[in-house]
Amino acid sequence: MKVSEPTDDVLELVDVHASDFIARYRNGDRPTVEEYANRHPELSDSIRRMFPLVASIERIKVNEQVEASGGATLAGREISQLGDYRIIREIGRGGMGVVFEAHQESLDRVVAIKVLPKQSLLDDEALKRFRREATTAAAMHHTNIVPIYGTGESDGSHYLVMQLIDGKSLDSANTTDTETSCTDVARIGEQVADAISYAHASGVIHRDIKPANILIEANGTAQVTDFGLAKNVNNDITNTRTVSGSLRYMAPERFSGVSNKAGDIYGIGITLYELLAGRPAFDATDAEHLISSITGASLKPIHAVRPDVPTDLSTIVGKAIHVDPSQRYQSAAELRDDLQRFLADEPIKARRISLWGRLVRWVRRNPKLAAAVGTSAFALIAATIVSTIAFLVTSEANQRSVDTLQASEQTVDLALQSLNGVVDVVSQTPNSADLPLGEVFEDDDLLPNVGIEPSPTSAKILERLQPIYERLSQQSPTRSDIILQSVDSSIQLARIQHSLGRTSVSMETLKSSITLLNERGKPASIPADDLQLRLARLNNELGALYATDFNRTESMQCFEVAVAAVSRLDDSNTAGQTELARAHLNLGSRPPQLRRGESLTPEQRADDLQHIQSAIQILEELKNSQSQTRTTNILYANSLLGRSRLATTPRSRHTDFRAAVSILRDQLHATPDDAVVRFELVEALADVNLRGQRSPRQFNESEGRLKDALAEIATLRASSPDNAVYLATEVHLRHKLSRIASMQSRLDDADVQLSEAIQLQTRLIQTWPTSVRHRCWRAMLYRSQSTLYRQWQKPDAANAAIAMAQADIDAIDPQFTDHPLVANTRDLIREFANTQPELRQ
């Protein structure tokens, strides 16, 4: 049977309907041939013959919109205008779309536009991913994340508008023959890790970190782009078990359906690996062998591929790409921080470093101080050799001639000068000499001066000097200056040992010097003034140590011995009078760690006040005699503060406080760069007793003082951001500010201050992980946070906070279990938890 050919009119009608069929097909609909045949029965035969052919051709066109490499194309379509944007040129393409440089006519600016090919609209998931990239990326604002300006649709084409980055992607940079330096790689990695850390904190996982998605500007700034596969953990519309992203850069666990932050860290690590290697990390080209290589831990260490990669950088990259996610960095911030340490030539957290390695790094970072220490150390070694040789020579020569004896004395002088030079250099290391440690946890107690942490190397140098002083004193038993220099050095050594947490060793150092003076003082004919002054100074130092160790009885005895020693000196001895004032101040001002919960009897108050009055009188006499110094001014201010704490009337208390602050401000005005004076001012302002405060005036006054102190500590931290005592002081200032806010029911403000305090305290623990003091203090901060959340009616948060406190106590080394600080903290945490029913559930 012969089928008649359709007329021209029929063909024209079929062509019209075919155009509609194609338009619907391209826009994502799924029209069927029978739908059109049933709708137009008079044309059904022609439709059934022609439409399948039209559909096949359209499918071919769609397939042509994907390159063999997987990159998108526009199937030959030329785009010159998209709404407000005039297309200038194509600048790149990937699996999600084609990127153009365009000119936004309304704002007269050049931008980048990513156009989603029309065939992608046939895939609902692709369109969702495209919209998710726009929403996710536009919500983030970070220096190293490409800013998103907006989205649009024109003629069926969806597009994303973003900032045009003047640079190139890492994958194109890595195709050149130029080898990327290790420093540049680390700098790129640090920027990318910082951006991803920000994204993770915003609840976004990128899931497609690779060189092609990292753009490098001309100035070296890295920009992370293409959040098309990003997973928003707060509002995720994706199936988390879907394997998506670029196969070569997927973390091993992704092939098991696990998609989390650890995958992004792996992506950064494998990107850095390829940058350093200058070639792909894996040789396999087919999917099966590539997946096997990724999951099989077959990747060589980067230093085996490129021998000049420093060990630290190789360690960082190796940790980031570890097959086991638990062995990688646990956050992008940790990876960023280690890369920053590598760039600063500091020890990284991922690898322990030897003492020698730390010394080499310290010398590179501090060349001037290293030169001074090196010169002094050389002099020390030379002096030691010379003095040893001289000792052997003069042992025989002393019997022969006076001339040889004089030569020996000259050698001793040279050695002593060298030793003293080393002591001077080492003693420049900050220590807590004027900042006795005190750990108190009541919300309204004085700040605990946790002490600046000096280098353990300083302590080792001073420890090795002591035997040399002893040898010199044996060589010249009549030389009193050698003994006195040895004592002065031991005081510096004891202060550093104490700051390093070796309090018991520090006590023994001071006791040994006291014994040395008592046994050798008279035989060496040490002048009485020098002998008594050293005994007073040693006992004042030792008494302060006993106080930090919660031993009030021993500390009081030491201070009384110091008073007795100075009483043997003439009143005109300024140094002696200063030590006497210090001893009286210590006797009258109970240390903060012993002051908590202690109610003074009238007799005790009168006795304490008498000692402080004695200190004030001595210091005023020194002032009147023009003998005041920075030290006497600080002692005078502290004496007035001590008297203000014992005052029974608000007027007297405020008068002494204002006078003390005025003295410190005047001294700071005279020596504006004096960090010690500024810190004393901080302590004075922070001497706020919140116990019993109720009126708004009292709260406002206390809050004002604490904020003033916070401003001063910010000045100190600006010049020494890693100074432990400054960090700890800010912790306690914020702790008190949080307490005031909570007492006024400003719970949001209280939470902000307390959270910042915990963050700073955590930084201290990360720097000094074995510090019992820092660990106990964070436990108490968590206790305060639990109290705040309970007041806020947030039992779950309160429960979590007290659990963190208990975890901190459990993490302390068992050898410190019975230490008064640890026992006190543990008891307070346990007591608090037991009195809160919701915390025991």
> What pLDDT sits at residue 334?
93
Average pLDDT over residues 619-645: 83
> What pLDDT sits at residue 659?
93
Task: Give the number of other Cβ atoms within 10 Å of residue 307's Cβ.
Answer: 8
> What pLDDT sits at residue 228?
53
Question: Confidence class of residue 451 from pLDDT cuts 50, 70 and 90?
Answer: very low
pLDDT of 274 higher than 70? yes
* % of the chain beyond a pLDDT of 70: 69
Reading the block at residue 190, the tokens are: 């640090």
Instruction: Decide if domain 81-163 falls under CATH 3.30.200.20.
Output: yes
Chain centre distance of CA 503: 27
> What pLDDT sits at residue 244?
42
Residue type, 176: T
pLDDT tens readout for residues 191-215: 999 999 988 888 888 888 988 889 8
Q: How far apart are CA 518 and CA 445, in angstroms?
A: 39
Evaluated on CA atoms 256, 259, 262, 265, the torsion sign reads: positive
Reference 783, options 765, 798, 802; nearest CA is 802
Residue 92 near residue 99 (C-beta atoms within 8 A): yes
Q: How far apart are CA 339 and CA 345, in angstroms?
A: 10
Question: Confidence class of residue 841 from pLDDT cuts 50, 70 and 90?
Answer: very low
Fold of 188-200+208-217+234-353: Transferase(Phosphotransferase); domain 1 (1.10.510)
3-state secondary structure of 645: helix
- H/E stretch holding 217 reads strand 214-217
What does the DSSP 8-state code read for residue 837? G
Average pLDDT over residues 241-249: 57
In degrees and rounded to multiples of 5, residue 104 shows phi and psi of -85, 110
| Span of 304-318, 577-591, 595-609 with lowest mean pLDDT | 595-609
pLDDT tens readout for residues 473-508: 555 556 677 777 777 777 877 776 776 667 788 888
The C-alpha angle with vertex 588 and arms to 585 and 591, in degrees rounded to 5, equals 90
> What pLDDT sits at residue 764?
85
> What pLDDT sits at residue 400?
47
> What pLDDT sits at residue 265?
94
| 379 vs 433 pLDDT, higher one | 379
In degrees and rounded to multiples of 5, residue 830 shows phi and psi of -65, -45
Q: Give residues with Cβ within 8 angstroms of 814, minimum separation 6.
A: none
List 161's β-bridge partners, or say none. Answer: 113, 150
| Span of 62-76, 360-374, 677-691 with lowest mean pLDDT | 62-76
> What pLDDT sits at residue 706?
92
Q: How far apart are CA 764 and CA 677, in angstroms?
A: 23
> What pLDDT sits at residue 825?
86
> What pLDDT sits at residue 377?
56
Residues tagged in the binding site annotation? 114
CA distances from 67 to 89, 98, 114, 688 (A): 19, 12, 17, 71
What does the DSSP 8-state code read for residue 546? H
> What pLDDT sits at residue 353?
47
The C-alpha angle with vertex 352 and arms to 347 and 358, in degrees rounded to 5, equals 45
Average pLDDT over residues 52-63: 59
Q: Give residues with Cβ within 8 angstroms of 838, minimum separation 6.
A: 790, 795, 798, 799
Q: How far apart are CA 674 and CA 392, in angstroms?
A: 47
Phi-psi region of 77 (alpha: psi -120 to 50; beta: other; left: phi over 0): beta
Question: Confidence class of residue 559 from pLDDT cuts 50, 70 and 90?
Answer: very high
CA distances from 39 to 35, 47, 336, 504, 745 (A): 6, 11, 64, 98, 72
pLDDT of 122 higher than 50? no
Average pLDDT over residues 280-305: 78
Alpha carbon distance, N-terminus to C-terminus of the chain: 88
Q: Give residues with Cβ within 8 angstroms of 726, minimum separation 6.
A: 679, 713, 716, 717, 720
3-state secondary structure of 102: strand
Reading the block at residue 117, the tokens are: 């090919």
pLDDT tens readout for residues 62-121: 444 444 344 444 545 678 888 888 999 988 776 567 888 999 888 888 999 988 765 544
CA distances from 417 to 382, 436, 492, 770, 812 (A): 12, 30, 17, 37, 44
> What pLDDT sits at residue 449?
36
Task: Give the number of other Cβ atoms within 10 Å of residue 128's Cβ.
Answer: 12
Phi-psi region of 10 (alpha: psi -120 to 50; beta: other; left: phi over 0): alpha
The C-alpha angle with vertex 520 and arms to 514 and 525, in degrees rounded to 5, equals 120
> What pLDDT sits at residue 414?
47
pLDDT tens readout for residues 395-448: 554 444 444 444 444 444 544 444 454 444 444 443 333 333 233 333 333 223
Average pLDDT over residues 511-521: 85
pLDDT of 33 higher than 60? yes
**pTM exceeds 0.85, yes or no:** no
Residue 551 near residue 440 (C-beta atoms within 8 A): no
> What pLDDT sits at residue 493?
72
> What pLDDT sits at residue 297?
67
Question: Confidence class of residue 464 from pLDDT cuts 50, 70 and 90?
Answer: low
3-state secondary structure of 289: helix
> What pLDDT sits at residue 557?
92
Residues tagged in the binding site annotation for ATP? 114
Is beta strand 109-116 parallel, antiparallel or unpaired with respect to 231-232? Answer: unpaired
pLDDT of 10 higher than 60? yes
Reading the block at residue 611, the tokens are: 């000692």
> What pLDDT sits at residue 351?
63
Q: How far apart are CA 555 and CA 545, in angstroms?
A: 7
Q: How far apart are CA 670 and CA 9, in angstroms?
A: 103
Chain centre distance of CA 841: 34
Question: Confidence class of residue 236 from pLDDT cuts 50, 70 and 90?
Answer: very low
Q: How far apart are CA 766 and CA 81, in angstroms?
A: 55
Q: Please give the mean pLDDT across all residues of the chain.
A: 75
Reading the block at residue 561, the tokens are: 């011995």
Q: Give residues with Cβ within 8 angstroms of 748, minimum separation 6.
A: none
Q: How far apart are CA 332 and CA 313, in angstroms?
A: 16
**Biggest alpha carbon–alpha carbon distance for the chain:** 145
